[in-house]
Structure 1
């Protein structure tokens, strides 16, 4: 479901379904919020400027085009979409997820967004990111909160 325009998260025993564009911001994080520094992973294979989805019965969805800096980076997949509207939603979802980009712990709910800004890396980053995972651990030094983020729409 998540690859076709729906986003979801589990809260207790309930599953919440939201449109993928749902991006209510719960706050902002800056370099001061990362005492050990942020860990940034750049995955060049995930970058795409244009997506094409081929569905059933010649259904096709297309989104994107030539990026002004990276040029044309194109990806195509076959999926079981049955109509043009579903193909369009799915391909727009894939494009958003592959485009180049202080909060209290109870606000860190997967499926919600947080604005992240850092200048501590070799490239300044300021982007709205969706929370996809939260892990809280405790040891002799106190609590440690790990937040897994992805570009909004991923």
Structure 2
């Protein structure tokens, strides 16, 4: 059943009608100059997602590792050296789901100022865990609408209060 879902997802994502809306978007992933992997840290999550691949103009299944404030993208599980990275502190996160034939595609959208990355999977549990963890490191959309900045604790570190008078810290 899972192979059938993967084949269906791959077929629909690479359909020319579906690709039209993603061809002009730039990828926020940057090539590594050296090993960006954080020292002495284990990956929070590891898994496969479909992501738009500009060189082939199609969606491709990539292997991702999530670290605090960092996502590493590999071509396969063997972790070939041509990895790319994305710093999450500059991204806003959005989510959407789309019905594709008999299955549902769950999408995590990471957006910087003019670049968009879509991580697509057909596994709801994987989508839920990754998006919850990624949200901790991304910028919150409409931050000032949700929170009131109370005071500055340190440089780039603030105390914030939400509508229910709960206190948070933010940088």
Higher relative contact order at CA 8 Å, sep ≥6: structure 1 or structure 2?
1
TM-score by length of 1: 0.26
